[in-house]
Amino acid sequence: MQQTWSDIDAYIESHLIPEDPILTQTLKNTADKGFPDHLAVAANQGMLLQMLIQMNKCKRVLELGTFAAYSTMWLARALPEDGYILTIEGRDTHAALGQENIDNAQLPQKIELKVGRAADILRSLPQNFEPFDFIFIDADKQSYPEYLELSLQFSHSGTIIVLDNVIRAGNILDPNNVKPSIEGIREMYRLMQNHPRLLSSTALQTIGSKGHDGFAIAIVK
C-alpha cells in the first residue's frame, strides 16, 4: 500500500503543486548534505499549510521544529512581504542546514531562526511579544503538551495552531506503547479536548508518501 500512497501523492503534486525553484533547491541541498527527506512535510501538506495562512490572511507565524526549513519555505511564501516567521530548532546540525537553506532562498519575508529547546526559547520571549496568527508545531512529540500551552501564551483570538504527526500509524491506540513520544501525543489530545482557550479543534489522519500519520488543528478562542 505504501507504494500506492506515494504514487497518489506524486499524481496530486504533478497536477496541483507547481514546481518551485526555491523548494527544489531546499530539497536538493538537504539531500546533498546527507539528511533524510522523511523529516520534511510532503509537498501537498506544505501547500495545505500555505493555504491555511492565505485563507486567514496571517502575517506572523511561529514554527517549532525547523529541520531543513522546507516547511518554513511553504509558510513564508504564504505571507505578505512584510510577514515574519520565528522558527525554532533544537538540534545544531538541523539548525545550521535550515539557516543555510533560508539564506539561499533570499525570501523577502523576515525569517528568524533560533537554536535551542523550543520551550526554553518561548519562555525567554518578552511578555509583550506580539502574538502569532499561525503556529505550526512539528518538534519532539513528548513535549507537545508543553508546546501547546506555551503557544497559547503567544496567541490571540483566531490564531490557528497545527500540530503534525499526531497519529503515528495508529500507535496512539496501542495501550502497550508507552514511548514518551506517544504518551506526549495522548496528553496533547486530552489537553485539547476541553481546553478553555480553544474555540474548536480536530485531528485528521493522513496516508501518503510519508506513511500513515496525521495532524491536529485548533482555533484559539
List the domain boundaries for the chain. Answer: 2-220
Helix axes 43-55, 2-16, angle to 10 degrees: 50
Place of cell 474555540: 199
Structural contact between residues 23 and 73, judged by C-beta atoms closer than 8 angstroms? yes
pLDDT at residue 135 greater than cutoff 90: yes
Helix axes 70-77, 92-105, angle to 10 degrees: 40
Separation of CA 69 from chain center: 10
Buried b (16+ CB within 10 A) or exposed e, 161-197: bbbbbbbbeeebeeeeeeeeebbbbbebbebbeebeb
Confidence of residue 37 (pLDDT cuts 50, 70, 90): confident
Residue 40 is predicted with a pLDDT of 85
Confidence of residue 36 (pLDDT cuts 50, 70, 90): confident
pLDDT at residue 38 greater than cutoff 80: no
Residue 3 is predicted with a pLDDT of 96
pLDDT tens per residue, range 138-159: 999 999 999 999 999 999 999 9
Structural contact between residues 42 and 12, judged by C-beta atoms closer than 8 angstroms? no
Confidence of residue 44 (pLDDT cuts 50, 70, 90): very high
Reply yes or no on domain 2-220 having CATH 3.50.50.60: no
pLDDT at residue 39 greater than cutoff 80: no
Q: In percent, how much of the chain has pLDDT > 90? A: 96
Structural contact between residues 212 and 205, judged by C-beta atoms closer than 8 angstroms? yes
Helix, strand, coil % (nearest 5) of the chain? 50, 25, 30
Place of cell 504514487: 7
Mean per-residue pLDDT of the chain: 96
Read off the pTM: 0.97
| Interval 130-144 mean pLDDT | 98
